């Protein structure tokens, strides 16, 4: 049963409940965010009033059987001037950027496949639950350095999935899909595949792709002596400049690069 209710009149003491929630858990992550006039809210089925986008999308992403690759929302509190989110905190863990910096070299393909498979699964489940994360990047993927378990975090830049596309991009510029820069419009699944491709390139090459890399990728001519043919084609398939020619998100697990895991 939820420790914190959405409406003040339904809880005896929200603050006391929040403290009780924290004390009952060994390891949690707590996020405190001050509301701004520009902060967006959205309606979630089952809740009377609109909620801050980050809370709403986290609720939606967790709406269903537990998925280990998506950070678990434990509790939340929505107040007039701020909100608080309580999430699971895997131990040990670090974000993928820090993990790569700690390794100080690109990942081997076995490790890269294992991490990428989980990131794709997290993004796919989010879509199935109506959530477009919109900011999948190294910093938003937590990794357990001992087990290589991955968790997708931070829904603050996200939106609900819609077929009509988007004109505003909330996320990280290095992960923007090229169609947004060229046409000012993009769609959720191709944009997600692009960002996953940037993550994959960074894991396997130790850096973000350059302009010359993108020129070769466009024609499937990009290769690396340290990577298999299947891995190079996976990268090229994710980073095609034409969104219609990119790999389909729901089919990414079927790529030849992942067949080695079977």
| 141-143 sheet: strands from edge to edge | 94-95, 141-143, 150-152
**CB contact at 8 A, 59 and 131:** no
Structure tokens at 123: 């993004």
Q: Specify the 3-state DSSP secondary structure of 149.
A: coil
**Residue 139: HSE in the Cβ half-sphere, 13 Å Cα cutoff:** 7
- Chain centroid to CA 22: 25
Exactly one of 75, 78, 135, 154 is catalytic; which is it?
A: 135
Query: Please, what sign has the CA dihedral across residues 167, 173, 178, 181?
Result: positive
Active site residue 80: no
Structure tokens at 102: 């700690």
**Residue-wise burial string across 208-236, b where 16 or more C-beta atoms lie within 10 A, e elsewhere:** ebeeebeeebeeeebeeeebeebbbbbbb
Residue among 157, 130, 173 nearest 39 (CA): 157
Structure tokens at 65: 């059987």
Contacts of 255 (CB under 8 A, 6+ apart): 230, 233, 234, 237, 247
Q: Would you please indicate which residues are annotated as catalytic (active-site) residues? A: 135
């Amino acid at each position: 049963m939820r420790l914190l209710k959405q409406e003040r009149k339904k809880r005896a003491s929200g603050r006391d409940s929040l403290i009780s929630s924290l004390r009952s858990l060994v390891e949690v992550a707590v996020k405190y965010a001050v509301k701004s006039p520009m902060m967006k809210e959205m309606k979630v089925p089952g809740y009377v009033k609109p909620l801050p986008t980050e809370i709403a999308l986290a609720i939606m992403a967790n709406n269903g059987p537990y998925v280990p690759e998506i950070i678990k929302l434990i509790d939340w509190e929505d107040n007039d001037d701020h909100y608080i989110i309580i999430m699971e905190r895997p131990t040990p863990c670090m974000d993928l950027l820090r993990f790569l910096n700690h390794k100080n070299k690109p990942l081997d393909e076995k490790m890269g496949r294992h991490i990428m498979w989980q990131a794709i699964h997290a993004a796919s489940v989010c879509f199935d639950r109506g959530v477009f994360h919109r900011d999948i990047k190294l910093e938003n993927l937590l990794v357990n350095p001992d087990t290589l378990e991955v968790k997708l975090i931070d829904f603050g830049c996200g939106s609900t999935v819609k077929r009509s596309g988007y004109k505003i991009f909330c996320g990280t510029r290095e992960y923007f899909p090229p169609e947004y820069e060229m046409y000012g419009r993009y769609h959720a699944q191709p944009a997600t595949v692009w960002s996953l491709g940037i993550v994959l390139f960074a894991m396997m090459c130790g850096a973000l792709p350059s302009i010359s890399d993108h020129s070769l990728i466009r024609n499937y001519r990009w290769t690396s002596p340290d990577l298999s043919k299947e891995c190079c084609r996976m990268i090229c398939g994710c980073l095609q400049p034409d969104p219609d020619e990119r790999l389909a998100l729901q089919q990414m697990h079927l790529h030849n690069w992942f067949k080695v895991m079977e």
